[in-house]
Structure 1
């Protein structure tokens, strides 16, 4: 029996980076969480402890800070591409770079005063290879949505362990995590993000839901129909269950007005929606959520 080293990578996780641009008395803020990971000619470090091929993770952190100062931070996809290309272009032993960025939004309260938004987090994952291939996956997470009616669930499999009663009127609540893959030329990432986000919001609100799966597909379909620059979208949507409280012991009716919001356990619905003519996923789409 032979033993060999399998796929591997290493990097610096969750480098907190805040970039302030000073336009006279008016300041602008970009607040990022940057994770980098590299792979390539790394066999010796694993088998013998020879670090000659290793760019330290501390150096990866410092590179993020330095490039933020030298080049600024615009759209997070562009900054992630800049970082990834830097690593594969400057380090002969690095054959592949993965950069993941979360962006936290701040709302202006004055020329240099801000309040942290409590909404969703914008995300991206970028992959670059030494042969020049790159893939950009944009996204968001923690987009919390709720319909207080217009949702049903019935007609499902019933066996000896089923206790869930069917319903034609329930609360549908979720926290959307979505990632979408760009096709063709580099789009205007900021505009594309706003369009996809609006499609997700509109489809969630407009769909009379017979299942969360149906709602997920409607949201992905709306995004693809509206945004030709994306070719596939993947969504993960936990079902944040709301159970009507039994108020009969107190002599009170409850016509779906008072609920207990349960945080766990929860149903987790995941799926992808893609164009029939979508180009191949390539290396990045398969790896974009791997550890």
Structure 2
């Protein structure tokens, strides 16, 4: 038997950065969580403990802070590309960089410098780079986008066996917390405009689909994004079914005409799927 070192990478996870941009008394906030993973000529550090090829993870953390000061954060896709290219271009032992960023939105309370956190939704970006002039990939996304249709959803015609208790319905609440990511064809996109447009198409796809299943809704949401935004070539989604069950009010002499529900948080159905353009460029399997 021959034992060899397989794929490997290392980095600094979850560096939290809050960047305040001050224009006199008027401030702007960027609140991000940055994770870096690097790979390259790392065989010796694993096999012999020789650290000569290793850029310390503490240095990676410091680079994130320094770049936030030097360049600002801006659109998180651009910030990720700038960091990834730097790590590969600056160090000969590093061949590939993966940078993942979450952004937490804040809304103004006043016109100057007071803010309130904008719900639970999080914007995301995942960047891969082989350095300036090399292969690159940008995946934008969001998570915890909570949506609900109070009608316009059915579920029936499913398999029934000896353990089935779920009753078919032609009118139910459909609720979920969307996690979505979308791969771009290139890196020359207006990231902010693209993000806002894709998010709106996801919302419209959810709202405007008369749903016979959450799977159908997922597909229609992804299809709408690909149809309307040519810079996007692939959409991946994970959508838990946040079940709402009608409460039996008959013991109290009351009818319940789809008005009062019990919102169950677990267990829940989980629907995942990918919608892609069949002429989309392939994404390297390792770039995840």
TM-score normalised by L of structure 2: 0.96
Deviation of 1:184 (Å): 3.6
Deviates more, 1:128-137 or 1:221-230: 128-137
Q: Over residues 72-115 of structure 1, what are the superposed CA-to-partner deviations in whole Å (9 max), with x where a residue is unaligned?
A: 11100000000000100011111111000000000012201111
**Which runs of 5 or more residues in structure 2 are unaligned?**
none
Partner of 1:148: 150
What corresponds to 2:264 in structure 1?
262
CA distance in 1, matches of 2:46, 2:247: 57
Alpha-carbon offset, residue 125 of structure 1: 0.1
Give CA deviations for 1:48-91 in whole Å, capped at 9, x if unaligned.
21111111111111000001111111100000000000100011
- Work out the CA distance in 2 between the residues paired with 1:199 and 1:86: 34
Aligned to 2:37: 37
**RMSD between aligned residues:** 1.2
Distance 1:245 1:88 in 2: 58
Equivalent-residue separation in structure 1 for 2:232 and 2:249 (angstroms): 48
What TM-score results when the alignment is normalised by the length of structure 1? 0.95
In the alignment, the residues of structure 2 paired with residue 20 and residue 240 of structure 1 have an alpha-carbon distance, to the nearest angstrom, of 37
User: Per-residue deviation at 1:46?
Assistant: 1.3
Distance between the aligned counterparts of 2:284 and 2:44, measured in 1?
28
Instruction: Say whether residues 1:112 and 2:109 are aligned partners.
Output: no
User: SS of the counterpart of 1:215?
Assistant: helix
1:38 offset after TM fit, Å? 0.7
Deviation at 1:26, TM superposition (A): 0.6
Q: Which residue of 1 aligns with 2:236?
A: 234
2:221 maps to 219
The equivalent residue for 1:79 is 79
Instruction: Write out aligned runs for 1:80-229 (5 A).
Output: 80-110=80-110, 111-130=112-131, 132-184=134-186, 186-229=188-231
What is the deviation of 1:119?
Answer: 4.1
Superposition map of 1:19-34 within 5 A: 19-34=19-34
What is the SS of the residue equivalent to 2:266?
Answer: coil
> What's the secondary structure of 2:234's corresponding residue?
strand
Moved more, 272-281 or 97-106: 272-281
1:277 is displaced (CA, Å) by: 1.4
Residue aligned with 1:151, SS: coil
CA displacement 1:114-145 (0-9 Å, x = unmatched) = 11110411000000114611100000000000
- The DSSP-based 3-state class of the residue aligned with 1:127 is strand
Count how many residue pairs are aligned between Structure 1 and Structure 2.
Answer: 286
What CA deviation, in whole Å up to 9, does each residue of 1:228-282 have, x standing for no partner? 1111111111101111111112222111211111111111111111112111123
Distance 1:59 1:242 in 2: 48
